Amino acid sequence: MTQDIAWYVTLVLIGLLTVVFLAVISSSASTATYEEVAKRDYAHRGKLFWLILAAGVIITTVTLVPWPHSASARHAPARVVEVMAAQWSWDMSEQEFRAGEPLEFRVQSKDVNHGFAIYDRNMTVRAQIQAMPGYTNVLHHSFEEPGEYKVLCMEFCGVAHHNMIATFTVLPANN
């Protein structure tokens, strides 16, 4: 949806630019005095400013609303999972979680940059974050579907990069 909105906004702005360009070309042969042109153009500039400001506020509001950032999800108490990456393995403090449980993965690296990516059984990326030496990146995520998930490295980290795989299990939610 956001991509469609950006496409339509781009088309409208290209159309407006074309209209302005044609208006400038058609008025370039005018013999009006500077004072007449300045008075007329300053009135147009004021209206154009308010039009662009209103359009900017509307476009910003419409395109930011669908973002999946929810204040409640960020502040929900989460179970902390310490993750340490090293060539060519993942060390996770826990291997079993419950569906719907808010998790906070604290991801670090012992050696080089690694890409911490969580894949479901269809090998679709569900969440990802960078693992960097000397820094802890935090990933908040909650799994809705029970099953086995894989962690793979998304950043080439050496000759055994393809073997850098860990698995964990998400159990059904407690009812």
DSSP string, 68-116: ---HHHHHS--EEEEEEEETTEEEES--EEETT--EEEEEEESSS-EEE
| Rounded-to-integer distance, Cα 172 and Cα 144, Å | 9
> Would you state the pLDDT for residue 110?
94
> Would you state the pLDDT for residue 41?
78
Q: What number of other Cβ atoms are within 10 A of residue 114's Cβ?
A: 32
The 3-state DSSP class for residue 175 equals: coil
Domains and their CATH numbers in the chain: 2-64 (no CATH), 72-171 (2.60.40.420)
- Token readout for 64 is 């930011």
- The stretches in the chain having pLDDT less than 50 are 72
> Would you state the pLDDT for residue 48?
87
pTM for the predicted model, two decimal places:
0.58
